[in-house]
Structure 1
Amino acid sequence: MQNTDKKKDFLKSLEDKKVSNVVFKPEGLGALEFDIVMTGKNFETTSIPFRIERISTDSFLKFLDLKSDIERAEKILLNFIAFPIEARDKEYFNLDMEAMTNISTLIVDFQQTPFLYIESFRERKTE
């Protein structure tokens, strides 16, 4: 029951972050592909496809030790985002800081709880 509640909370948190079409990819250490609604260069709100990939725990912990939140965010974007490549630079999110915050939160959650993601997507696939 508790595991089911975690999965429901996880799926609800994705909706709250304006994330949709989430697919878990098992290659490497695991990856997530998803679409996120964000404001782009022409002030238009569009759905942008993203792919984030897990990294080694040692590398991840080095980012958490950084003192500056900005420096930490820059390292997280640079090392986790596989595409779009432009999103590895914080300037990509100039018009939508909420999207950057949502993606950063999703990255940290995914890095810390990969098995929750894997189980959730296996169950959704069989439904």
Structure 2
Amino acid sequence: MSSPAGRVAPVLFGSALIVAGVAAAFRVGRRFRRFAISGTSMLPTLRAGDWVLVDEHAYRGRLPRRGHILVARDPREPWRHLVKRVTSVDLHGYIRIEGDNAAASTDSRDFGPLPASLIAGRVRWRYWPLSRAGAVL
């Protein structure tokens, strides 16, 4: 027969794991935001109907690098978000963004480079559709 103390340890351990899991999920939930892709400006990398996770903390204290895919507020319509690839970052921290599909993209070729304050985060992961799930590079 096991002692009461012998039964308490596994319960405490299990409870600690649950608390740790909830805390981790809360942190991830506050760091990442979901976005649905619409339009064809990022073909073939991203398609209309793809759902991605955006790391809103990726550029805290640093600038994006050439090649990163990010979400930025549209400088002409701040309520609208754009998903584009970084093509350059100048010495003053202005970021040029362009769609992979130039023929269907409105980007820095139209409105110029963006200040870092308009960058919402870095696209990290496509989670839908499942057949295309994976890291976004």
TM-score, normalisation: structure 2: 0.32
Question: Which structure is higher in strand share?
Answer: 2
For CA contacts below 8 A with separation 6 or more, give which structure has more relative contact order. 2
Question: Which structure is higher in helix share?
Answer: 1
TM-score, normalisation: structure 1: 0.34
